[in-house]
Every structure is written in C-alpha cells, then in structure tokens.
Amino acid sequence: MADAIDQEIADFADHLVPEAFSTASTAYRVDLLGPPGPDGFAGWIQRCRADAIAARYPVGGTPSGVVYVRRGDERWRWDQEPCCELEWLTGRVSDEIAAFGQPWVFVCSLRDRGRALDHAGETADPHAVTWGLPWYAEARSDTVARVLDGIDEVRGSEVTGRQPLPHRSPFKRSARRVLFRHPSRRAYRLR
C-alpha cells in the first residue's frame, strides 16, 4: 500500500512544472510536451485522444470528459466531473485561456464509456466493451488553422471505427465554446 501511495505522490510531483503556475487556472494538470512532431496537429490529436482514454484520478475513478489546450510546448488539461455539464467546463476554460496565444484545443466526452460498462455488467471485461468517444479539435496558429471532429468507436483503449460528429450536436456546440471570442479565431482564419 505504501508503494502505491509513494508512486501517486511521485506522479503528482512530476507534473508540478513552473509553467503551471504562470497563469491563474483550474487546470487539473500541465504537461511539457515539446514542439509538435512531424505529424503536427493530427499527431497531437491522436496523443490527446489516447491520453484522455487513459485518464485516471490518483484516488481512483475517471473524468467524464477532458479538455486539452496547447500553449507553446505546454499541454493544459481540465477534467469534467460527472456532476458538471460540458458547456459549463468549456465556458470556464475559455475564460482561463483568453490570453493563450495560438492555442490548439482538444475536447472529448467519456460519458459513453461509463454507460457502456454499466450496461455490460460487473462481470464484463472492460477491454472488450465498445463505446463511443465524441471529440472536437481546433487549432488556431500561424502554422495551422483547422477544425476536426468525429465520434470514435473504442474497444478498451483501441479505436476500432470512426463516424462523423453530427453538425448540430450539443457536444459540438459545447466544445466550440473553448475558443469562443478568442482573438486567435480572428487572427488565424480557417483555410
């Protein structure tokens, strides 16, 4: 038991980076990722999706959604609590990142995973349960100005299929709020 607690403390301490204290924020965590790789925005989306699927709290449980925002080589993470609506969280994040220059955003909902696991029952193997992961990504910078979204079919932690996100879905409307009135939307128009 002591080893598990020591590991949780070490994991927490690893993410106490000075950049996390440069801005007043309610972010759950700040990671230093370095500059984007050769696969750019698409690679960043894949990493965010994989990290969101694996997201866990130190004391157990998982968030019902995750918002990542890239600022330079930093990736800020906000978690959606089960009792909180995504629109409330994305509105709060929007206020907190107003001064972030050239942000990249990734928003996903993990609520369907919990529903699928509950529906499968206690004896089901969580790695055999299939669930839907709606996601939204937006980049506004001098190198890329794009919006991508979709719903991934996930089994365990592997993406097994994809479909488009409905244009007028409540999830998409809430996810778009992260950069609502952000100056980067005017400075870096979609191409």
Beta strands in 89-188 (DSSP E): 104-109, 130-140, 145-155, 158-163
Beta strands in the chain (DSSP E): 29-32, 65-71, 74-80, 104-109, 130-140, 145-155, 158-163
Q: How does pLDDT run across 160-173, given as a tens digit for each residue?
A: 999 999 989 999 99
pLDDT computed for residue 117 by the predictor: 87
Q: How does pLDDT run across 22-77, given as a tens digit for each residue?
A: 666 788 888 888 877 788 999 999 999 999 998 877 667 788 999 999 999 899 99
Q: How does pLDDT run across 85-98, given as a tens digit for each residue?
A: 999 999 999 999 99
**Residues 135, 116, 51, 29, CA torsion sign:** positive
Percent of the chain with pLDDT over 70: 86
Query: What is the chain's mean pLDDT, rounded?
Result: 87
**Stated pTM of the model:** 0.87
Token couple for 55? 């997201």
Q: Which residue in 17, 29, 31 sits closest to 72, CA to CA?
A: 31
Enclosing domain of residue 157: 2-187
Q: How many domains does the chain have?
A: 1
DSSP-derived letter for residue 104 is E
